[in-house]
Structure 1
Amino acid sequence: MIILGLTGSIGMGKSTTADMFEAEGVPVHSADASVHRLYAGRAAPLIEAAFPGTVSGGVVDRQALASRVLGDPQALKRLEAVVHPLVHEEEAAFLEAARRSGAPLAVLDIPLLYETGAEMRCDKVAVVSAPAAIQRERVLGRAGMSEEKFAAILGKQVPDAEKRARADFVIDTSQGLDPARRQVGAIIRELTGGRD
């Protein structure tokens, strides 16, 4: 089974592209969705122990947690030490289930793939990309987003040009959904030898 890492900077269309792989019958594991599940489950008591007052009704209060870790590299490291091993466990279970099902290809949707060295766990990497002007328009159109927040997020991400240079595949999402879908289909065919 081939493991394809899927990544892309904020506003590039990664989640929509992950959905396209799923629509083609490819199993997809979303690191973000995994964190959401863990914040409402196994990770909640561990996070409450590390950051008292950040869990309410058994679910991590993301705003309260963000106010404790943002801008504090040591706190962020402590949080990652709690969450990352749990996400890796879920990812390993997902890959095992995909292998058992006979899937020729599985996708790991990881926002900070290059930033965390996760490409080492993948056979190939696809980067979702669009021109900076389109990215900016998409991101600043989101509720609660500001120029400052956008700049801070970009500052933590490997630049798009570097991601594209390091990737095995680049999916251009600037032309709309159908062209992106065709690119996804071509990648699936190439990686599975046409067995899709």
Structure 2
Amino acid sequence: MIRGKFIALEGGEGAGKSTQSRLLAEALRAQGMDVVTTREPGGTAGAEAIRALLLHGVSGESGEERQGWGARAEALLFAAARSDHVEKLIRPALERGAWVICDRFLDSSRAYQGGGGGLSDADIRTLHEIGSAGMLPDITVLIEVSPDIAAARLALRDVDGSDLIGGREAAYHTRVAQAFARFAEAEPDRFARIDGDGTPQETCERILAALGERK
């Protein structure tokens, strides 16, 4: 059986990755492909449990606010969630010939815990080698949006407040965006950089065109 394709959607907060995951899956299914959509952290029961810890923290003592994690603990938790996700969902789907569309993968750890949190890229890649045997997507789609558009989208999305990572200071998210750009510049054969400032359908059309160029 022919192995499926693994597509990761990357980008900062408000890039529209979840919407593009849905639209891209619809477009590929219309072409007769078996498509699996998933997300990180998450995708399996174990990884979803870790997702809750990462995004919402744990209860503090004596009524304190919920506590988050340091960059090292975050990186370890993400690597553990990804390991379970790869073993139980992603690899089996690819082996049966399905296309897997994942909302975030390794490069988010590199950008957030590395670029944003200050950990070395080598350490994050080592964790990924241990947890997921170094697996990489066939193509990583980096959706880039201007800060004002991202902010407008987040205002609509996060009406009940943002999670512990999304709610960090603007300087953190600037470092994240800069890290994503560095990765794409360093590995142009692996990344497709997509202008995400347009409508969801316009962005999806750009992604489909990029995928067509890389077949």
TM-score by length of 2: 0.61
- The CA distance in 2 between the partners of 1:180 and 1:61, in whole Å, is 27
Question: What residue ranges of structure 1 are gaps of 5+ in the alignment?
Answer: 48-53, 55-59
Pairwise CA RMSD of aligned residues?
A: 3.8
The code of the aligned residue for 2:101 comes to V
List aligned pairs for 1:22-41, cutoff 5 A: 22-23=25-26, 24-25=28-29, 26-34=35-43, 37-38=45-46
What's 2:114 paired with? none
Contact 1:17 1:128 in 2 (8 A): no
Given the alignment of the two structures, is residue 90 of structure 1 paired with residue 85 of structure 2, yes or no? yes
Quote the sequence identity (%).
Answer: 14
List aligned pairs for 1:70-149, cutoff 5 A: 70=69, 73=70, 77-78=72-73, 80-82=75-77, 84-103=79-98, 105-110=99-104, 112-115=108-111, 116-117=124-125, 121-141=136-156, 142-143=158-159, 144=161, 149=168
- The CA distance in 2 between the partners of 1:10 and 1:114, in whole Å, is 15
- The CA distance in 2 between the partners of 1:182 and 1:40, in whole Å, is 30
The code of the aligned residue for 1:114 comes to R
Contact 1:3 1:106 in 2 (8 A): yes
User: How far 1:30 moved relative to its partner?
Assistant: 0.8
Higher relative contact order (CA 8 A, sep 6+): 1
Sort the Cα spacing of 1:170 and 1:150 in 2 relative to 1 into closer, same or farther, 3 A: same
- The CA distance in 2 between the partners of 1:81 and 1:162, in whole Å, is 23
- The CA distance in 2 between the partners of 1:19 and 1:109, in whole Å, is 10
Sort the Cα spacing of 1:174 and 1:95 in 2 relative to 1 into closer, same or farther, 3 A: same
- The CA distance in 2 between the partners of 1:138 and 1:110, in whole Å, is 18
Given the alignment of the two structures, is residue 67 of structure 1 paired with residue 66 of structure 2, yes or no? yes
